[in-house]
A and B are shown apart, each in its own frame.
Chain A
Amino acid sequence: MTSTFILASLIEPAIGLIFWTTITFILLLVLLGKFAWKPILTAIKTREKGIEDALASAENALNDMRELKSNNEKILAEARAERDNLLKEARDTKDAIIAEAKAKSQAEADRIMSSAREQITNEKNAAVAELKNQVATLSIEIAEKILRSELSSDEKQKALVNNLMKDVNLN
């Protein structure tokens, strides 16, 4: 039978094809290995390395940026704290100044008041002394005038002495 005959040839490797395949395959292996696979694989590897490096540097940049950002934030926070501090200090200073001024003015006022009071007292005392002097002078003048009039006659002098003596007896 034809088919059986050829079927046998199908699973029986032909020497010619083995020969040519061996030569061709080895040649292909060498040529491709040298002129195709080596440059292609090298190029792919270079690119992969490039991508890896790029990714790494991007990661680094990201990290740097993150660091920078956190630094910025830190600086900002510090600045904010500083500002708050300054404000607080200013407020304190202001309060202190106001308080001091208040205290000073109070003291000044007190001093002025006290000196005024003192002056008033002095003036008053002086006035009182003056007044006393005046009163004394007046009194003496009045008394002199009265005495002059009372003691102008002997009768009047006797009456007075009697009067005085009466008082003394009653006591």
Chain B
Amino acid sequence: MTSKINTYKRFTSIFLLIFSLFIGVSNNLSASEPQEDTIEHGHSADTAVAAHDAHGHDAHEANGPIDISAIAIEHVSDSHSWHFWGEGHDAVAAPLPVILKGNNGIVFFMSSEFHHDNEGKTIVEKNRERFVMFEEKVYYANATPNEYGQYVTLTAIDKEVSVSNAAPLDFSITKNVTQMFISVIVIMWIFMSIAKAYKTQGVTSAPRGKQSFFEPLILFVRDDIAKGNIGHGSEKFVPYLLTVFFMILINNVFGMIPIGANLTGNIAFTLVLSVATMIVTNINGNKNYWSHIFLPHAPKAIWPILIPIEVVGILTKPFALMMRLFANMTAGHIIIISLVGLIFVFKTIYIAPVSVAFALFIDVLECLVAFLQAYVFTMLTALFIGSAVADHNEDGAHTTDDDHATAGH
């Protein structure tokens, strides 16, 4: 069963990624036309940067063409404030703390001090340092503004705008970090109250309430994921697998709530989880695991090829974990906002039923994906750990894998 789901999952994730890229690209194309116009109308047309800014401004202020791909990317990206609704200065957003490690030490202030500015026009001066925010990133401000009032130096290479200002290390409590804290509180509340319920009600009564929903999941992780993939000695890893599973699951579900943050679709978050898996796997790797990598059962002549591949394999496994979760969750969010964005691209209400129908379909699919990705990440983690702690030689390990596959079918 596991290999089947794997194949299916890989297929779906590739499909979703291609689909989202397709939508992203097509929106880019449609959006690029009006920009050219602006450039031709051109102020001085010396830089595409000016056009970029003007365009960006127009898009928000006037009823001009909407860059759906920009909105989609913004939607799935991290942010320094928790935006609820509204645009520009009418936006309703919860300010979040900004914590920076600047040249003069650590700086702390609320994101509301930027006054919703995201174009590098509002300076916040703290600790004898001046900061501006440009596209949700904090930079050291220039001494003087450019002709559009921006305190950042923008350069355009092949229409790609980049900022050449230096940036402080940003340890802000961003939207994603806030959601992570909230999710951690929720997870702790859920599982500590369940633990309490076991203590007060004893173990003889049937589970009830939260217990009856989460106990099957806990048992699933313990029996099917941990025991199924690790086998003997899996108890040691069950707490880690449970934590990973519910951390991903709860945050996947939070990400689906309209104002929720896309934490599990953020590469930094998946990076940390997959690095944790890599560390757990390699710390527990036994003699067989390392000899499989450095003394493979193959003619010595191909060792120079095989050993580097195996060594790279140590990194590619968690890398695949990181990309899979990130791409799946981000792709789902992008598809939904792209479908809704169709209404604004076609500028007609009549496309709305189609958009809503498809968005609803993808939403339901995302409900499945929320569970599936939590399962896949945890299952693969268990699989990697299992291969690292497998007690037998290579042949034995292979037969067990085959057994799993055949037993699953």
Cα–Cα, bound, A147→B136 (Å): 192
In this assembly, does A164 line the interface, its C-beta being within 8 Å of a C-beta of chain B? no
Cα–Cα, bound, A5→B136 (Å): 11
In this assembly, does A9 line the interface, its C-beta being within 8 Å of a C-beta of chain B? yes
In this assembly, does A168 line the interface, its C-beta being within 8 Å of a C-beta of chain B? no
Which residues of chain B from 3 to 42 have any CB-CB distance to chain A below 8 Å in the complex?
Answer: 24, 27-28, 31-32, 35
Q: Which bracket fits the contact residues of B?
A: 35 or more
Partner of B181, one of A5, A24, A50: A24
A31 to chain B, nearest CB (A): 6
Cα–Cα, bound, A6→B330 (Å): 14
**How many contacts between A and B, using CB within 8 angstroms?**
160
Q: Mark A1-29, 1 if CB is under 8 A from B, else 0.
A: 11111110111111111111110110111
Cα–Cα, bound, A10→B137 (Å): 12
Interface SS, A side: helix
In this assembly, does B67 line the interface, its C-beta being within 8 Å of a C-beta of chain A? yes
Q: Is the CB of A28 within 8 A of B135?
A: no
Q: Is the CB of B203 within 8 A of A43?
A: yes
Q: Which residues of B contact A19 (CB under 8 A)?
A: 171
- Which single residue of chain A is at the shortest CB-CB distance from B138? A16
- Which single residue of chain A is at the shortest CB-CB distance from B267? A13
Q: Is the CB of A50 within 8 A of B203?
A: yes
Tell me whether A40 and B76 are in contact in the complex, defined as CB-CB below 8 angstroms, given that A17-B269, A25-B276 are known contacts.
no
Interface SS, B side: helix
Partner of A25, one of B69, B174, B204, B273: B273
Tell me whether A5 and B135 are in contact in the complex, defined as CB-CB below 8 angstroms, given that A10-B76, A21-B269 are known contacts.
yes
Partner of B199, one of A12, A20, A39, A47: A39
A36 to chain B, nearest CB (A): 4
Q: Which residues of A contact B222 (CB under 8 A)?
A: 41, 44
Which residues of chain A from 66 to 107 have any CB-CB distance to chain B below 8 Å in the complex?
Answer: none
Cα–Cα, bound, A61→B381 (Å): 44
Which B residues lie at the A interface, using CB under 8 A?
A: 24, 27-28, 31-32, 35, 52, 55-56, 67, 69-70, 73-74, 76-78, 99, 135-137, 159-162, 169-174, 176-177, 180-181, 184, 187-188, 191-192, 194-195, 198-199, 203-204, 215, 218-219, 222, 235, 238-240, 242-243, 247, 266-269, 271-273, 276, 326, 330
Sampled A-B contacts (20; CB under 8 Å): A1-B32, A2-B135, A3-B28, A3-B70, A4-B161, A6-B70, A6-B74, A14-B266, A15-B268, A18-B268, A20-B171, A21-B273, A24-B180, A28-B247, A29-B243, A35-B192, A36-B188, A36-B192, A39-B199, A41-B239
